[in-house]
């Protein structure tokens, strides 16, 4: 595959010239989504070359129970698979009876653009078919932000050098399989279908989970921009409905199809209403009309960009990259449905099962909280609050008692649905991230009531888990936490992972503090919480014991906390001494070799120091950064951003910029040779953090919003906006200094480079 | 299920009275095998109740590539599945048009006997069908030891209280599925079938591995012991051929079917010869005739029992159990084919894939070596020698170099075919067992030439592995072995497992010693070996460094070697303090809880002290036994035997007997609630060791065969025989003393209770 084939452009992702080797990568990079559904950038017309066809619907999954070899006691009942959904975009084209297939034609021109400003995918190409007949094709497609069950396609064909019959065959196909299915298992059952007057609908349901989905299409056609009525031929099988419209065309004529399509599903409609709901949604789209729907798309994205945009002057490639990240995050999650969450690959691939990970709490919440509003962040917290019961059940399965909760590592509905013991059972630090997210939200928004109304219950359940999960070592005379996997998944089943222990201790302290606070400030609510959770005094007493006597591995010699017990027994050779041919190690080395090596997949001790920067001196942070960063191979997409932010805080501008590039263009430049599998959506929030918390130096410790902006040498300027407690603040930085605009009606106190500053509405403060 | 329903009997396994709940357990317990094939004790006639149908052919497997969720880099390409083979035993019976099915009749009498002395399975029952017609059925079945491709069934039906039509419908069915197949996948392809004159054959092949198997049957019938010729009706489908023989019978008449059946397969015959080979094998059986074939079966087993038998007087249940173990070991492996090995479940179930584990080297070799002859043990060593190339490839896949070998944890043909990283990649101690087996064999047989001709090459490859697998810890200033799983699989990815380190060090020392020996004694062979392996002087130098500086975790406080680094951080609560309701922990606890507990699945440190008892003082062994045994939960079938042997050596007769009972009646009394899945074949060798090395106290250190017999209180006497360097020695022990018979022509020196004794041929020495 050719790396770096994407052309630089401030607002667009651009591919010029057709290269079959790039097709699957581009299908990922040009993906579309509207928060409720999404799809890879597959061609509408037939493509017989290598392709990865994928359409996905938010919340819809399949509980796969395939087993191999050995199954550990306590394993989840199923592994959640994100399901490839029916295809509604397909339009087969034939030219004088020959199928148009880019893989089989001579492609004279090819241009594909993802217009991030407008939220639209454009493609134009000129193809010469066998025999020399040449056609020009133009397709525009978007998934409506206004009507989130609808997508629209405008697809035009113009014969260039011949007169003859062109036929358009749009279809819906509910017979789509997953790439990762064993034995070609089909995860859907087709229930019924209807078709009438250029509209077709297929009702299907997922096996086992029984999500019902109605897939629909509605067709309109124009010849040279005039509406025409062509008789359709209908070809109908159980899983597929296909129309064919034939037209005799003159050279230079343009035949255009408007195809409205999409899904309605049973999470949002009664099952028996789905046919009607689907018809209504497409009729609404058609009544609005293609052009006006397009207009509404532009407006919706303009609203998003108004606060979410980050500008970078002087580095077009960096500008393109940051917008790409922000665009994809907004395509994946719109924040208005607390049943949905942010899958690591969003709607762009099957991997990671489309499920929810701790990525949301650790990386995504700050992005949505700052660029949308606190309700969106609150919805993400409520997602976990609503699943507390399942988290308690999950902990019970593992032998915990008395209302202790262990949130799942991977979930669709609150149940654990991952099946590696070293992750599912041992990567328990995620439980701490749930509490960190509450702290982060409350700290940022000031919404203390959330703790009283919801957060405290979660904190108690998680504190119970940590207190039961630590055990007393007679040898060390300390509490220890044995058998865990830290954020660095290149270590499994280690003892006393510092990050996990630190987070555990903090969760216990934070729960105790908040219990005290609520007791004083909300005595009635306090009683309700005690009542509901059954919390006893001796529990809190034990929590205090664990807080006091928890063990943290430390090296006197290196003056650093150790990632885990025994870390210094490894051969501590810096990662840059490894031959290039052995990188990335997760593709070149066997698992045991990785495990006994010192190499760190993603920030682990440093992740803790990032979360709790205010607990450590800059000197301490620097020692740890210098010890761990050289051993870090950044083979998780979530790694470079944290290092970039810390490097900024330490004034290591060059390292910060190096790490920033890795995070921001991870997918566009395909650093890890895997973009064809889908995009790294959750890490895109990390890229945003790299600018706002990294270069921008934004912090929010002890109730004060502060900034400490620096700028990479080769940028002229950058700017970003954040929403903060009812204010919208724009930060601009160039090599002369920085400016702060307060776009809101009331003044706000901020700290810039250690100085307190009050900025009034529409005020411009230059420092 | 009813435990302990098996009736005590010295030579038989007996079930009396029919209980549907026992069917699947009995199918395991009454299994038949002849080293080349085996089968669960399924009924010949239809049984519609719960049953686990299983027939297996030695060496035949399927490479299953089903994947779930996550796949680690370096994982094996497949997981080997033992394949359920075609059914040749089936005989449907109908009585006046009604099907005979024990699940649907009233069973008036039922008796099932596995006659271990003769190697035959007998079953008689009287069944009353709906309407009151009553029949008596008698079936006898064996898998011939003389013709190992043939089995024979004599099946008789006698109407007791009616006249009427009885029909026999024998069949062969090649459409058999595995219990553990996902999505009902069928692992065989049917190629062709033939039938003619009461004989039928189906040729099928396994998918992917392409083993070809011809399954055949040949039918003869008698009425009241006179041969009769009944016209057969033929019912034939792709996968099954079924004959029907109908006979009008009078009350008291006995209609008997002789069914010869079995498999010929492509490991032993050219593929295109299989039909003919199958026909020849069945014709040979029929020519010999049922009675004479039965006679040859008795003789073959008499020969086996002559040396392999262990007698126990005064405890019929112990007598039954030890014979059961010896019987099953001989059914599983006959020792004449170096391509075969001993699967942990033999031919009695699907679990563990029927493949080869380190069980063979650690437990089974001594049994076969002592009760058969050195060629059998040598064949087991050659099995691994022949797979050395694959073991080197396997190590290369994991990043090892220069001819280092890692033998697979689980294999069918030398390739690794297990897919848990903590086992496949980390349970590397098995590599040491390969060398221990060579040492054990040479030590016992005196066949030093094996080391020169084969063993040294294996030793070099394994020594290379250990020297590369250890790394230098700057912190400890010692070599360490990080990231392993010891024999105690309730710990994964630990550092410096004492057993692994000890075995690694010993392997390096033993290789160095033998290199020196061969250099002196066989200089030409020495050159050949250096040439073939490319061994360099600096390699041996590095081996010496590792031997000198390898680290062993030790507790000064407890004066014991620690199972691994950090073991003392666990809560060391003795296993007998756990509530009964939480045992076995592998069925009650989640994996993470097991891992962070101190509980030991099977001997780990103690396994090393068992192997190398002569390296430690009795006082040291006692300290370790007292430290580890109370933490051991014996949830591997390979655990109690080692503890029984050590307890004997320590004079802990009561503990020894407790452990002996667990090992010897593990399956008969179904200690682990899993006998329905199949028998624990390899651990049966451990039971034999518990008598011979445990109570008998046999040792063979420094070239001297020694005994130190003790006897459990409630036994009157026991005796066993061993073959040793051309001698056959019988040991008899009762409460008065012990007697030694030398059955061979030449005298032999042995040590009894520390005293040297010379015993002459047919001599009886009483001590």
Name the CA dihedral angle for B95, B97, B101, B104, rounded to a multiple of 10 degrees. Answer: -110
Q: Tell me, which fold does domain A33-306 have in CATH?
A: Beta-galactosidase; Chain A, domain 5 (2.70.98)
Q: For testing the chain A interface, which of B566, B584, B673 should be mutated: the one with the most A CBs within 10 Å?
A: B566
Name the CA dihedral angle for B694, B700, B705, B710, rounded to a multiple of 10 degrees. Answer: -10
pLDDT at residue number A672: 78
- Tell me the nearest-neighbour CA distance from A491 into chain B, angstroms: 9
| CATH tag for B373-633 (out of 3.30.360.10, 3.40.920.10, 3.30.1490.20, 1.50.10.10) | 1.50.10.10
Of the residues A457, A489, A491, A677, which is catalytic? A489
pLDDT at residue number A2: 46
pLDDT at residue number A71: 61
pLDDT at residue number B64: 82
DSSP reduced 3-state for A655? helix
- Closest chain B CA to residue A426: B592
Phi-psi region of B724 (alpha: psi -120 to 50; beta: other; left: phi over 0): beta
What number of helices (H) and strands (E) belong to chain B?
22, 32
pLDDT at residue number A554: 98
pLDDT at residue number B79: 79
DSSP reduced 3-state for A479? strand
- Tell me the nearest-neighbour CA distance from A426 into chain B, angstroms: 7
**Chain A CB within 8 Å of residue B67 CB:** yes
Instruction: Answer whether B569 sits within 8 Å of A73, measured CB to CB.
Output: no
Residues of A in contact with B397 (CB under 8 A): 590
- Closest chain B CA to residue A65: B68
Q: Which residues of B are catalytic?
A: 489
pLDDT at residue number A73: 67
Of B66, B418, B425, the CB nearest to A66: B66
Q: For testing the chain B interface, which of A61, A64, A67, A73 should be mutated: the one with the most B CBs within 10 Å?
A: A73
Higher pLDDT, A565 or A537: A565
Of A73, A570, A588, the CB nearest to B589: A73
**Chain B CB within 8 Å of residue A186 CB:** no
Q: Do residues A637 and A351 touch, judged by C-beta distance below 8 A?
A: no
**Chain B CB within 8 Å of residue A207 CB:** no
For A239, phi and psi rounded to 5 degrees?
Answer: -100, -5
- Closest chain A CA to residue B569: A473
DSSP reduced 3-state for A532? helix
Residues of A in contact with B571 (CB under 8 A): 471-472
pLDDT at residue number B69: 59
Region A119-137 average pLDDT:
97
- Tell me the nearest-neighbour CA distance from A185 into chain B, angstroms: 8
Asked whether residue A351 carries a pLDDT value surpassing 90, the answer given is no
pLDDT at residue number B1: 42
**Chain B CB within 8 Å of residue A77 CB:** no
Residues of A in contact with B68 (CB under 8 A): 64, 66-68, 79, 419
Residues A489, B493: Cα–Cα separation, whole Å: 13
Asked whether residue B644 carries a pLDDT value surpassing 60, the answer given is yes
Residues B404, B511: Cα–Cα separation, whole Å: 13
**Chain B CB within 8 Å of residue A596 CB:** yes
**Chain B CB within 8 Å of residue A183 CB:** yes
Asked whether residue A249 carries a pLDDT value surpassing 90, the answer given is yes
Phi-psi region of B336 (alpha: psi -120 to 50; beta: other; left: phi over 0): alpha
Residues of B in contact with A420 (CB under 8 A): 69-70
**Chain B CB within 8 Å of residue A418 CB:** yes
Q: Do residues A747 and A735 touch, judged by C-beta distance below 8 A?
A: no
3-state SS, B409-457, equals CCECCCCCCCCCHHHHCCCCCHHHHHHHHHHHHHHHHCCCHHHHHHHHH
pLDDT at residue number A745: 87
- Tell me the nearest-neighbour CA distance from A502 into chain B, angstroms: 18
Instruction: Answer whether B420 sits within 8 Å of A69, measured CB to CB.
Output: yes
Residues B97, B618: Cα–Cα separation, whole Å: 71
Residue A69's pLDDT band (cuts 50, 70, 90): low
Instruction: Answer whether B73 sits within 8 Å of A588, measured CB to CB.
Output: yes
Q: Is A635 one of the catalytic residues?
A: no
Region B188-211 average pLDDT:
96
Residues of A in contact with B399 (CB under 8 A): 589-590, 593
Does residue A584 have a cis bond before it (omega within 30 degrees)? Answer: yes
Residues B655, A225: Cα–Cα separation, whole Å: 94
Report how many Cβ contacts below 8 Å link chain A to chain B.
154
Region A104-126 average pLDDT:
97
Of A68, A480, A590, the CB nearest to B67: A68
Residues B396, B390: Cα–Cα separation, whole Å: 10
Which secondary-structure segment (H or E) carries A531? helix A523-533
pLDDT at residue number A74: 66
Residue B665, both tokens: 């009646």
Query: Same CATH fold, B373-633 and B31-303?
Result: no
Which residues of B, range 433-452, sit inside 8 Å of A by Cβ? none
On average, the pLDDT of chain B sits at 95
Which pLDDT tens digit goes with each residue over A5-40? 999 999 999 999 999 999 999 999 999 999 999 999
Which residues of B, range 239-298, sit inside 8 Å of A by Cβ? none
Instruction: Answer whether A590 sits within 8 Å of B72, measured CB to CB.
Output: yes
DSSP B142-204: EE-SSSTT-EEEEEEEEESS--EEEEEEEEEE-----TT-GGG---EEEEEEEEETTEEEEEE
Q: Do residues B389 and B402 touch, judged by C-beta distance below 8 A?
A: no
Strands B706-707 and B748-752: parallel
Which residues of B, range 378-407, sit inside 8 Å of A by Cβ? 397-399
Residues A306, A719: Cα–Cα separation, whole Å: 12
pLDDT at residue number B767: 74
Which secondary-structure segment (H or E) carries B561? strand B560-561
DSSP reduced 3-state for B71? coil
pLDDT at residue number B346: 93
Region A219-224 average pLDDT:
97
Residues B636, B634: Cα–Cα separation, whole Å: 5
Which residues of A, range 600-629, sit inside 8 Å of B by Cβ? none
- Tell me the nearest-neighbour CA distance from B426 into chain A, angstroms: 7
pLDDT at residue number B761: 82
Q: For testing the chain A interface, which of B61, B63, B73 should be mutated: the one with the most A CBs within 10 Å?
A: B73
pLDDT at residue number B2: 46
Highest average pLDDT, of A169-183, A351-365, B198-212, comes from B198-212
Q: Which residues, 6 or more positions from B753, have their beta carbon under 8 angstroms from its beta carbon?
A: B707, B708, B767
- Tell me the nearest-neighbour CA distance from A596 into chain B, angstroms: 6
Q: Where are the domains of chain B?
A: 31-303, 373-633
Asked whether residue B500 carries a pLDDT value surpassing 90, the answer given is yes
Instruction: Answer whether B592 sits within 8 Å of A492, measured CB to CB.
Output: no
Q: Do residues A653 and A617 touch, judged by C-beta distance below 8 A?
A: no
Instruction: Answer whether B569 sits within 8 Å of A473, measured CB to CB.
Output: yes
For A13, phi and psi rounded to 5 degrees?
Answer: -100, 125
Q: Within 13 Å of residue A484, how many CA atoms lie on the same side as its CB?
A: 29
Instruction: Answer whether A590 sits within 8 Å of B66, measured CB to CB.
Output: no
Counting residues of chain A whose pLDDT is more than 70, the rounded percentage is: 98
- Closest chain A CA to residue B351: A69
Of B421, B569, B586, the CB nearest to A73: B586
| Closest-CA residue to A744 (of A719, A762, A758) | A762
Counting residues of chain B whose pLDDT is more than 70, the rounded percentage is: 98
| Closest-CA residue to B290 (of B166, B89, B149, B140) | B140
Which pLDDT tens digit goes with each residue over B372-413? 988 999 999 999 999 999 999 999 999 999 999 999 999 998
Which pLDDT tens digit goes with each residue over B741-759? 999 889 999 999 999 999 9
Which pLDDT tens digit goes with each residue over B589-605? 999 999 999 999 999 99
DSSP reduced 3-state for B585? helix
Residue B653, both tokens: 């007769």
pLDDT at residue number A80: 82
Q: Look up the CATH number of domain B31-303.
A: 2.70.98.40
């Amino acid at each position: 595959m050719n790396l770096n084939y994407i052309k630089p452009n401030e607002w667009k992702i651009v591919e010029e010239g057709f290269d079959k080797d790039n097709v699957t990568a581009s299908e990922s990079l040009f993906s579309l989504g509207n928060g409720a559904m999404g799809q890879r950038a597959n061609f509408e017309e037939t493509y017989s070359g290598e392709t990865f066809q994928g359409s996905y619907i938010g919340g819809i999954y399949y509980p796969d129970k395939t087993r191999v070899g050995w199954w550990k006691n306590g394993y989840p009942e199923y592994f959640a698979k994100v399901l490839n959904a029916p295809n509604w975009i397909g339009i087969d084209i034939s030219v004088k009876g020959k199928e148009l297939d880019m893989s089989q034609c001579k492609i004279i021109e090819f241009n594909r653009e993802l217009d991030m400003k407008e939220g639209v995918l454009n493609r134009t190409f000129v193809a010469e078919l066998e025999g020399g007949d040449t056609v020009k094709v133009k397709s525009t497609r978007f998934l409506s932000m206004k009507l989130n069950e609808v997508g629209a396609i405008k697809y035009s064909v113009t014969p260039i050098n011949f007169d003859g019959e062109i036929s358009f065959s749009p279809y819906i196909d509910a017979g789509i399989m997953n790439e990762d299915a064993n034995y070609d298992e089909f995860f859907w059952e087709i229930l019924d279908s209807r078709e009438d007057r250029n509209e077709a609908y297929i009702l299907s349901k997922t096996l086992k989970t029984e999500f019902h989905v109605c897939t629909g299409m509605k067709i309109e056609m124009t010849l040279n921009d005039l509406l025409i009525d062509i008789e359709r031929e209908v070809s109908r099988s159980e899983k597929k409905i296909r129309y064919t419209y034939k037209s005799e065309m003159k050279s230079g004529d343009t035949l255009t199809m408007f195809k409205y399509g999409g899904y309605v599903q049973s999470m949002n409609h009664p099952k028996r209403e789905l046919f009607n709901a689907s018809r209504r949604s497409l009729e609404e789209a058609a009544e609005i009309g293609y052009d006006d729907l397009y207009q509404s798309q532009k407006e919706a994205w303009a609203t998003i960009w108004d606060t979410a945009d980050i500008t970078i002057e002087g580095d077009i490639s960096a500008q393109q990259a940051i917008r790409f990240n922000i665009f994809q995050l907004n395509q994946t999650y719109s924040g208005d449905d607390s049943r949905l969450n942010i899958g690591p690959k969003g709607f762009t691939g099957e991997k990671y099962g489309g499920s929810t990970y701790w990525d949301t709490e650790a990386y995504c919440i700050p992005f949505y909280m700052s660029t949308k509003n606190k309700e969106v962040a609150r919805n993400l917290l409520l997602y976990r609050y609503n699943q507390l019961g399942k988290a308690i059940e999950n902990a019970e399965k593992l032998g915990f008692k008395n209302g202790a909760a262990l949130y799942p590592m991977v979930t669709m509905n609150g149940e654990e649905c991952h099946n590696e013991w070293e992750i599912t059972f041992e990567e328990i630090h995620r439980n701490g991230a749930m509490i960190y997210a509450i702290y982060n939200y409350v700290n940022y928004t000031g919404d203390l009531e959330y703790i009283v109304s919801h957060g405290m219950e979660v904190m108690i359940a998680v504190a119970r888990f940590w207190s039961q999960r630590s055990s007393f070592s007679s040898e060390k005379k300390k509490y220890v936490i044995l058998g865990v996997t830290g954020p660095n998944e290149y270590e499994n089943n280690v003892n006393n992972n510092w990050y996990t222990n630190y987070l555990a201790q903090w969760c216990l302290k934070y729960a105790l503090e908040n219990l005290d606070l609520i007791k004083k400030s909300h005595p009635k609510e306090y009683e309700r919480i005690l009542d509901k959770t059954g919390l006893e005094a001796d529990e809190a007493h034990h929590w205090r014991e664990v807080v006091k006597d928890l063990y943290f591995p430390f090296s006197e010699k290196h003056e650093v906390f150790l990632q885990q017990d025994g870390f210094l027994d490894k051969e501590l050779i810096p990662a840059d001494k490894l031959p290039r041919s052995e990188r990335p190690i997760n593709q070149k080395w066997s698992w045991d070799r990785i495990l006994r090596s010192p190499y760190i997949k993603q920030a682990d001790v440093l992740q803790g120091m990032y979360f709790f920067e205010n607990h450590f001196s800059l000197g301490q942070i620097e020692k740890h950064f210098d010890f761990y960063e050289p051993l870090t191979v950044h083979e998780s997409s979530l790694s470079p951003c944290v290092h970039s932010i810390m490097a900024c805080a330490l004034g290591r501008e060059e390292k910060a910029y190096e790490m920033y590039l890795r995070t921001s263009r991870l997918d566009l430049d395909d650093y890890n040779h895997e973009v064809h599998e889908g995009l790294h959506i959750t890490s895109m929030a990390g890229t945003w953090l790299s600018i706002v918390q990294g270069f921008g130096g934004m912090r929010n410790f002890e109730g004060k919003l502060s900034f400490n902006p620096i700028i990479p040498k080769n940028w002229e300027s950058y700017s970003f906006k954040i929403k903060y407690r009812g204010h919208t603040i724009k930060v601009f930085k160039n090599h002369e200094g920085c400016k702060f605009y307060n776009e809101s009606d009331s003044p706000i106190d901020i700290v810039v480079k250690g100085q307190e500053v009050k900025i009034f509405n529409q005020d411009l403060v230059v420092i």
